[in-house]
Structure 1
């Protein structure tokens, strides 16, 4: 194999790891919100434990990318691909952290509490997962046009977060239990909003990869 074909094969391995990391982060958010909605402590604990797997995948991507830089000394587009891989891996790991934070919040909720999950949190979760899947698709296909659409989607998530907070604290809180529940819901909405921010960062990285230009979609 030529040096070029070896580099291409190794780069493909890095890209496949990024896709694997993206799927893990998406699954973590879905399970974390599921644990929150169902007051499922076992599922919440599983999300927290699986975050170590997400951390290991990111570390593996970092090691592979830095090794390629040292061995191949890539320039131009090839170097941009490796820099982008490192940036995206970091954002995906942070997305996993936000899912873990939601799972940790789920463990704090009383299983016998009559207070329900704010319904808009489920809508935010679905939108954030849709964004994450599209971001992985944009990365896989090196589709800058798709990545540029994330500005509008991120605005929708931000608007939902603001609405949730306003609704949670619009009425007078009567007791400490209701106040704690409202705070937990607000924090979880914030974690989803941050998850979506990192997805938008990935879209920005895709634009950089394809066009070599920095842009601000968030």
Structure 2
């Protein structure tokens, strides 16, 4: 009976993590949309809603710590809880990057974009796919999906490199757009870092299944 309750609690913990992951993904998409459409009001709303991510993160941590205290799990079950705490931290950071992108959207405001932000939008699309796959890998303890996440990170890195090169060139051609180019550079970096945190989630899945730490960024 106690064992059954413990597994139900673990399932609840996983569901809480997935909910936080969806929140972070939605926030990131909304911030990119706000940047693309120059919607300052939407960007402000994203910043105001970030408190929800903080609350969800704290609830996950509190629930995980309570599980350890009440059940005193060992081996794989303990790893499941420890990994949940670590994944929650990575997801919360992704939500923070959504806020950072929203801030850049506000700073750019209604200014005409120096270039279409297609690469930035592509970076988000890949990062979003990575996050969904990473959460599936966690739920299913699927190493193949976790490895695929790390491979997709290379695509984000490539897009990041292309975007920065384009922005550097534009900075030479249109120095009057320096402030905007700086914010677009920041945004690209935020997405690249968000993808790195998703890769961290994939590494946590490897630790969960194998009990060993793997560096999937190399």
TM-score normalised per structure 1:
0.95
Distance across 1 between alignment mates of 2:138 and 2:204: 9
Aligned to 1:27: 26
Aligned to 2:41: 42
Distance across 1 between alignment mates of 2:122 and 2:37: 16
Distance across 2 between alignment mates of 1:163 and 1:175: 19
Q: How does 1:121-136 map onto structure 2 within 5 Å?
A: 121-136=120-135
1:112 Cα deviation from its structure 2 partner: 4.1
Aligned to 1:205: 204
Aligned to 1:3: 2
Q: Deviations over 1:164-195 (max 9, x none)?
A: 1111112414433x111111111000000011
1:117 Cα deviation from its structure 2 partner: 4.0
Instruction: Give the stretch that moved more between structures: 206-215 or 17-26.
Output: 206-215
Aligned to 1:175: 175
Distance across 1 between alignment mates of 2:147 and 2:93: 21
Distance across 1 between alignment mates of 2:8 and 2:119: 43
Distance across 1 between alignment mates of 2:51 and 2:22: 15
> Which one has a larger percent helix, Structure 1 or Structure 2?
2
Structure 2 SS opposite 1:74: coil
Question: Against the structure 1 CA distance between its residues 194 and 114, is the aligned structure 2 distance closer, same or farther, given a 3 Å change threshold?
Answer: closer
Q: How does 1:37-76 map onto structure 2 within 5 Å?
A: 37-76=36-75
Q: How does 1:140-151 map onto structure 2 within 5 Å?
A: 140-151=139-150
TM-score normalised per structure 2:
0.95
Unaligned runs of 5+ in 1: none
1:210 Cα deviation from its structure 2 partner: 1.4
1:140 Cα deviation from its structure 2 partner: 1.3
What is the root-mean-square deviation in Å for CA atoms of aligned residues?
1.2
Alpha-carbon contact 1:127-1:157 (below 8 Å) kept: yes
Aligned to 1:155: 154
Structure 2 SS opposite 1:135: helix
Question: Against the structure 1 CA distance between its residues 173 and 139, is the aligned structure 2 distance closer, same or farther, given a 3 Å change threshold?
Answer: same
Q: Deviations over 1:83-131 (max 9, x none)?
A: 0000000000000001110001101113143534422101111111111
1:136 Cα deviation from its structure 2 partner: 0.9
Equivalences, count: 216
Aligned to 1:191: 190
Alpha-carbon contact 1:150-1:217 (below 8 Å) kept: no
Q: Deviations over 1:13-59 (max 9, x none)?
A: 11110010000011011000000000001211121112110111010
Alpha-carbon contact 2:13-2:84 (below 8 Å) kept: yes
Question: Against the structure 1 CA distance between its residues 114 and 144, is the aligned structure 2 distance closer, same or farther, given a 3 Å change threshold?
Answer: closer
Alpha-carbon contact 1:173-1:179 (below 8 Å) kept: no
